[in-house]
Every structure is written in C-alpha cells, then in structure tokens.
C-alpha cells in the first residue's frame, strides 16, 4: 500500500469511527475498537487527543490491546518528546522504529513460545 | 443451498451464549440497492438521527467498511481501489465490529441482502445467528408470493419469528 492509499484509508477510517459513534444505540460510544474480517482482525486504540493506533493481525489474536498501549507509550517517548518532530507530520524517528520492531518481535516470540 | 449448506429452519438455533433476555438492540436488513427492508428495535435508548438518515448512514458505513476490509486484507495479492463497489463474495469482507457500547454483526448473502444485528459488546460471534435469521427470511419473505422484492417487508409472521428468536440469543 503506498502513501496515497494509506491516506485514503486513514481518512475513511476517521469518518467511519465518527459515524459509528452516531449510530450507537446507547450513549457513551467511543468509536470502533475492533473490526473482525474473514482473514484479519483490526484493533484500534484511540488516545485522549484523538490519535489512533491500529494493529492488523490474524483472526483471534489475543492481547492486542496491550500491544497497542505499549506502542502508545513508545510514541509518547520517542516521537512526542523528540524536539525535531513536527506535529501531524509522518513519523521519521529512527529510535521509534527500532523500538517498535523490538516490541512487535517480543510479542511474536511470546505468542509462539506459548 | 451451497452457500450455507443447510436450507431448512430445522437445524436447531445456536445455543444462547451470554445472559438471556435483552441482548440485542436492533436489526437492519438492506437489499443491494440500499433499500432498508426491515428495521426493528428492541432496546435503543438513544436516537441520534431520524430513521431515514439513520438507515442511509448505516448502509454507507457498511459499504465503506467492506471496501476498507478488502483493501486492508493482508492475504490477497491485488486489491481494487478504495471506493470501487465490491460484488458480494468478492474480496475479504468483515463480519463484525465492536465499540465500547455495542457490537455490530454483519452478513451479506450472494444476492446482496445484508443482515445487520446490533447487540451489547460482550456478545460472542453471531455469524450462526445471522445465518439462522437468513433462513427465516427465506422461509417467510422470499417464499412469500405476496412479497415484492425490493420493498420493505410487511410480514407479521416474519417479524414475530425474528423477535422471538432474537430474544432467545
């Protein structure tokens, strides 16, 4: 998926997140947290500022919410505290990428080890 | 019927998974053109929009979500562009999504009839439930000689059957 597609998907998701709140039968809906499809699951975590984190995984994978929280922590540490990072721009912080890959690997090893 | 491997209502409905009683909030049935064939609600404290807008918004949401799922599918090699209408059964389609206040289960038949069930978020997988409701639809609506396809369903038997079944989930 190239950058244009990513942008389209992101804007589509943002609107659908909002529409799903409108269609809620009860009050207090905070948007889509999990989308289950035939071949994948998509977990979404929304921070208090509205930044959304997604994980696409195999159907039925457990503990993705924990992974998303870990990624959120890495984001606050390596991206937001980076003085050269401009808000709302694509993230190009090396440390963030390295730690992100490590976190996902650790998660994968933990899953396989079980 | 190859699609579901069972064409009678006689296979026993799926056993109740969570607490009995009011689990479901509402049900929508749409045809492939976006006409809302059925809308029933059992437990809906919050009405944000008037019914027409609500139906249109729901249909639009599902259309976009299907398109997004087809695009984001990690297993398929070639994906169409976003926004291209997907034929029923083509590409990867989602079957449910969950928020903190509700869970929406979705099923589309090869003829383009879409079944949507909105329940509380702790409900487990409702695909079998939707298949059962599809069987009810076939028996009471599709086989009804007085029913015109593409128009809203006005069949009391179907409504009561759906009500009864959904209350037992």
**CATH class (in words) of the domain with range A33-113:** alpha beta
* Angle, helix B51-72 to helix A3-22, in steps of 10 degrees: 150
Tokens representing A25 are 């039968």
Q: How far is the CA of B71 from the CAs of A35, A71, B64, B168, in angstroms?
A: 14, 24, 10, 36
Which residues from chain A sit within 8 angstroms of residue B100, using beta carbons?
Answer: 28-30, 33
Q: Which domains does chain B have, with CATH numbers?
A: 48-72+87-168 (3.30.450.70)
Closest CA to B122 of B145, B140, B147, B105: B105
Mutation for testing the B interface, residue in A9, A11, A36 having most B CBs under 10 Å: A36
pLDDT the model gives residue A86: 84
Could you tell me if B130 and B108 are in contact, meaning their C-beta atoms sit under 8 angstroms apart? Answer: no
DSSP state at residue A45 = E
Q: How many CB atoms lie within 10 A of CB B148?
A: 7
Facing B102 at nearest CB: one of A16, A26, A37: A26
Write down the pLDDT at residue B106: 93
* pTM for the predicted model, two decimal places: 0.81
Distance CA B61, CA A17 (A): 9
Tens digit of pLDDT for each residue in A61-110? Answer: 888 888 899 999 999 988 888 888 888 888 888 888 898 899 888 887 77
3 state DSSP class of A80: helix
| Backbone torsions φ then ψ of A52, nearest 5 degrees | -110, 135
Cβ neighbour number for residue B91 with a 10 Å cutoff: 21
Residues A43-54 pLDDT 10s: 999 888 888 888
C-alpha distance from B102 to closest chain A C-alpha (Å): 7
Residue B16's pLDDT band (boundaries 50, 70, 90)?
Answer: very low
Per-residue pLDDT tens over the stretch B69-108: 888 887 766 666 666 666 776 778 889 999 988 999 999 9
Q: Which residues pair with B115 in a beta bridge?
A: B29, B107
Residue B133: what pLDDT? 92
B65 and A8 within 8 Å at the Cβ level: the answer is no
Q: Is the pLDDT of residue B24 over 50?
A: yes
Handedness of CA B139, B145, B149, B154 (dihedral sign): negative
Question: Can you give the pLDDT at residue A87?
Answer: 83
Task: Tell me what the mean pLDDT of segment B49-71 comes to.
Answer: 88
* ipTM tops the 0.85 cut: no
Residue with tokens 């396809």: B149
Q: What percent of chain B has pLDDT over 70?
A: 79
């Amino acid at each position: 998926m190239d950058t244009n597609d990513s942008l389209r998907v992101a804007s589509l998701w943002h609107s659908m997140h909002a529409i799903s709140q409108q269609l809620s039968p009860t009050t207090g809906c905070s948007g889509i947290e999990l989308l289950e499809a035939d071949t994948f699951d998509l977990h979404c975590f929304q921070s208090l500022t509205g930044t959304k984190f997604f994980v696409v995984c195999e159907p039925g994978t457990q503990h993705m919410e924990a992974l998303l929280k870990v990624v959120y922590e890495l984001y606050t540490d390596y991206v937001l505290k980076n003085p050269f990072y401009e808000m709302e721009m694509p993230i190009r912080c090396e440390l963030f990428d390295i730690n992100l890959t490590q976190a996902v690997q650790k998660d994968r090893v933990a899953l396989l080890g079980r | 019927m190859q699609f579901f491997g069972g064409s009678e209502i006689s296979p026993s409905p799926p056993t109740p998974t969570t607490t009995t009683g009011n689990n479901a909030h509402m049900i929508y049935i749409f045809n492939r053109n976006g006409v809302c064939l059925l809308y029933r609600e059992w437990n809906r404290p919050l009405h944000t929009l008037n019914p027409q807008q609500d139906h249109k918004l729901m249909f639009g949401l599902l259309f976009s979500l299907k398109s997004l799922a087809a695009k984001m599918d990690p297993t398929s090699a070639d994906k169409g562009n976003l926004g291209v209408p997907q034929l029923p059964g083509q590409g990867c389609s989602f079957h449910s999504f969950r928020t903190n206040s509700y869970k929406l289960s979705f099923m589309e038949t090869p003829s383009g009839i879409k079944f949507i069930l909105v329940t509380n978020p702790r409900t487990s997988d409702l695909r079998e439930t939707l298949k059962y409701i599809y069987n009810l639809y076939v028996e009471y609506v599709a086989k009804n000689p007085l029913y015109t396809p593409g128009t809203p369903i006005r069949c009391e038997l179907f409504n009561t059957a759906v009500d009864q079944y959904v209350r037992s989930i």
